[in-house]
């Protein structure tokens, strides 16, 4: 089986470590990866950022629109520079925002032709007083989303309702075909009192019917409050049984995180 890291970030990410993407690529080569997907957070619409309520500068959640051309150009040159050593795939981690699908489609129409990979993820929901982040902090998620919806189960129902929308949404011919960290709502599961993930049979069937793949994201495995992959092993099993391809993703925002947990997920 090809050794692939399918989900990584770069120095274009304002909430990352600042480590340069080239150092991360070099690390991936050292670790023996044969394919490396660079999937930076695509820019977010200004109207959305104006309504994002969070205890952090709202421009730290994704790359800047003004950096798009540099991002693509730099990656094309790195792809060529390292082409004998690793197969570099260029793309974005796209946020699915129900109310801003025109913005996303326009961005994909303009930049999708330079991409050979991509992920579609849900990091934000409409909650208390506006848009709220699902994965910024447990306190923030608790007040802005869990209490707002009336409990952890209702929070999950809303999260997966939007994920389902992201699967079926028409975002044009460059829409990514991989669903990012399916259970990101579990990031603070211990603090939020989430004991089990609600039944995801319907979403998994939709993903399968669309011929999409899934991000097997190890981000949560390294967090005390979570301690599991997105999605967790029981859902991985269910997805595999259906025949949905899962692609390992380190979600690295730093050199030291490239390839983390790769050996562990091989056992799942």
Q: Are 177 and 209 a contacting pair, CB within 8 Å?
A: no
* Closer residue to Zn ion (CB): 20 or 85: 20
The nearest distance, CB 253 to Zn ion, in angstroms, is 6
Scanning 116-124, 171-179, 196-204, 226-234 for contacts with Zn ion by CB under 5 A, the matching segment is 116-124
b/e map of 107-144 (b: 16 or more CB within 10 Å)? bbeebbebbebbbbbbbbbbbeeebbbbbbbbebbbbb
CA separation for the pair 185, 37 (Å, rounded): 24
Scanning 28-36, 118-126, 202-210, 242-250 for contacts with Zn ion by CB under 5 A, the matching segment is 118-126
The nearest distance, CB 13 to Zn ion, in angstroms, is 5
Q: Under the criterion CB under 5 A, does residue 121 sit at the interface with Zn ion?
A: yes
The nearest distance, CB 251 to Zn ion, in angstroms, is 6
Residue sitting closest to Zn ion (CB):
121
Fill in the per-residue mask, 153 to 192: x = in contact with Zn ion (CB under 5 A), - = not in contact: ----------------------------------------
* Closer residue to Zn ion (CB): 63 or 204: 63
CA separation for the pair 227, 201 (Å, rounded): 23
Scanning 65-73, 114-122, 145-153, 207-215 for contacts with Zn ion by CB under 5 A, the matching segment is 114-122
CB count within 10 Å of CB 185 equals 29
Q: What is the DSSP string of 63-126?
A: --GGGHHHHHHHHHHHHHHTTTT-EEEEEEEEE--GGGHHHHHHHHHHHGGG-SEEEEE--EEE
The nearest distance, CB 250 to Zn ion, in angstroms, is 12
Number of residues that bind Zn ion (CB under 5 A): 1
Instruction: Enumerate binding residues for Zn ion (CB under 5 A).
Output: 121
């Amino acid at each position: 089986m090809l050794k692939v890291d399918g989900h990584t970030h770069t120095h274009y990410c304002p909430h990352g470590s600042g480590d340069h993407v080239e150092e991360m690529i070099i690390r991936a080569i050292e670790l023996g990866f044969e394919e490396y997907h660079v999937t930076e957070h695509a820019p977010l619409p200004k109207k959305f950022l104006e309504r994002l309520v969070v205890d952090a500068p709202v421009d730290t959640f994704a790359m800047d629109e003004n950096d798009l051309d540099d991002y693509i150009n730099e990656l094309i040159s790195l792809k060529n520079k390292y082409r004998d050593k690793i197969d570099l795939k260029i793309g974005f981690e796209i946020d699915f925002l129900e109310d801003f699908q025109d913005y996303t489609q326009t961005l994909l129409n303009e930049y999708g032709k330079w991409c050979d990979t991509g992920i579609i993820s849900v990091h934000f929901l409409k909650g208390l007083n506006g848009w709220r982040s699902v994965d910024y902090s447990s306190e923030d998620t608790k007040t802005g989303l869990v209490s707002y919806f009336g409990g952890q189960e209702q929070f999950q129902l809303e999260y997966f309702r939007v994920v389902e929308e992201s699967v079926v949404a028409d975002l044009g011919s460059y829409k990514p075909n991989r669903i990012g960290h399916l259970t990101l709502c579990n990031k603070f599961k211990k603090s939020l009192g989430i004991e089990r993930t609600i039944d995801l049979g319907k979403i998994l069937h939709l993903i399968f019917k669309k011929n999409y793949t899934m991000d097997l994201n190890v981000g949560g495995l390294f967090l005390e409050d979570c301690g599991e992959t997105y999605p967790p092993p029981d859902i991985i099993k269910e997805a595999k049984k259906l025949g949905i391809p899962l692609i390992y993703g380190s979600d690295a925002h730093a050199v030291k995180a490239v390839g983390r947990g790769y050996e562990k997920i091989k056992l799942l």
